[in-house]
Amino acid sequence: MERRVLIAIDGSVGALKAVDYVGRTFAPVAEFIAVLVYILPAPPPILQESKTDGQSLARLSLFKSKTKKQAESVLNRAQEELGRLGWEGRRIETKLLNAASGAAKDIVFEAQNGLYDAVALGRRGLGRLQEMFLGSVSQQVVSEAKTVPVWVIDGEPVGSKVLLALDGSEDSFRAVDHVGFILARQPQVEVFLSHVSTQLADYCPLGLDDELRELQDELETEEEDHCLRTFFAQAMKILVEAGVPKEQISIRFKRKGLEVARAILQEARETGCGTVVVGRRGVSKVKELFLGSVSARVLQGANDLAVWVVG
C-alpha cells in the first residue's frame, strides 16, 4: 500500500535533517513516496507594487529567477541525499509552490489538499529570507494541521525504535492507527506501547501520608491492570492487524515520578527510541487548558528525536 509523506524543504540544516530521517527510516519500504515541497518566497512589497516601467519589471523578474534557482538547487540536494540512502527516483517527487498565506498555512494547505499521509519538517530552519520556519513554524504546522499527522524532527534521531504514548484518548488511538499504517511490514522496527500513570499526588499537592501512599499504590495497580486489559490490548490488536508483527511490540507501564511529557521523553531515552508518537490531545482537556498539551511539551523538550503528533 502506497504511503506519501510531504517533506517541507527550505535549504536549512533542520530541513535536511528531516530528509535524512525519512530517508533512513523508510528506505527499505518500496511503497513509500517522499514529496519534497519548497515554498517560493513572495517578492518584497516594493517589488509587488503595480509598476509597469521596465526597470521594476526587470527587478521582479530577477527576484523570481534567483529564488527559483535557489529552490531547485535545494530540491536537487535533497533528492541526492535520498538517492544516497537508497531511494529510487520513482519514489521521489518535487514541488515548487508560490507563497500564499505564510509558511505554516501553505504547508498545511498542501498537506491536507494533497491527501498526504503525513507531513515532515525540521524543528528549526534558516527561515528569515524566505519566511520559512521563521519563529516556530513547526509548532504552527502542528497547531494548524488538524487532519494530517505531523512529524517534527529535531537533530539526528537514532535507531528504528518507536515509543507510542497511550492514554486511552481518541487521539492516542488515532496515533495507533497511524503507526500501524506507516510501519506495517517493516521488519527492523520495534514499537513500545507506553502509558505513564497518573498519581494521587497530582491531586494532593501538599504531600501524602502513609495511608494515602497505600491508596495510591492500590490505584496504580488497578490502573496498570485496567491498561493491560483495555487500551493496551486494543492497541496491540490494531497494530498486529495492520501488519506490525506481535514480536516487535513491547508494553511499558511507567509509574510517574515526573510531569507526563518529561516522563515520556525519559522513557524514550531509556528504551533507545528515536521516534515518539503522541496524540494531539489527551483525555484531560481541562488540564490542557491551563498547563498546555502534553504533545506541545513533548515537542518543546525533544532533542535528537522525531515527534509524530496525530489528532
Q: Examine the domain organization and report whether 217 and 279 are in the same domain.
A: yes
CATH of the domain at 199: 3.40.50.620
Q: Examine the domain organization and report whether 39 and 149 are in the same domain.
A: yes
Please give the C-alpha separations between residue 180 and each of 15, 138, 162, 223, in angstroms, as whole numbers.
25, 24, 11, 25
Q: Examine the domain organization and report whether 184 and 293 are in the same domain.
A: yes
Domain limit, last residue, from 153, 169, 184: 153
Q: Examine the domain organization and report whether 268 and 143 are in the same domain.
A: no
- The pLDDT of residue 205 is above 60: no
Q: Examine the domain organization and report whether 131 and 228 are in the same domain.
A: no
The residue assigned the cell 527510541 is 273
Q: Examine the domain organization and report whether 176 and 44 are in the same domain.
A: no
Domain limit, last residue, from 84, 119, 153: 153
Instruction: Pull the grid cell for residue 167.
Output: 492514554
Q: Examine the domain organization and report whether 234 and 177 are in the same domain.
A: yes
Q: Examine the domain organization and report whether 149 and 165 are in the same domain.
A: no
How many domains is the chain partitioned into structurally? 2
Give the containing element (helix H, strand E) for 279. strand 275-279
Q: How far apart are CA 250 and CA 211, in angstroms?
A: 33
Q: Model-level pTM?
A: 0.84
- The pLDDT of residue 91 is above 60: yes
- The pLDDT-based confidence of 57 (bands split at 50, 70, 90) is confident
The residue assigned the cell 510517574 is 256
Q: Examine the domain organization and report whether 124 and 95 are in the same domain.
A: yes
Q: Examine the domain organization and report whether 44 and 122 are in the same domain.
A: yes
Strand order through the sheet with 161-165: 92-98, 32-40, 3-9, 118-122, 150-153, 306-310, 275-279, 161-165, 190-196, 249-254
- The pLDDT of residue 167 is above 70: yes
More confident residue, 210 or 63: 63
303 and 296 Cβ atoms separated by less than 8 Å: no
Q: Examine the domain organization and report whether 199 and 302 are in the same domain.
A: yes
Q: How far apart are CA 236 and CA 252, in angstroms?
A: 12
Domain limit, last residue, from 124, 153, 182: 153
Range name among 63-67, 116-120, 273-277 with the lowest pLDDT average: 63-67
Domain that residue 231 falls in: 161-310
Q: Examine the domain organization and report whether 23 and 112 are in the same domain.
A: yes
Chain segment 183-197, per-residue pLDDT in tens: 998 888 999 999 877
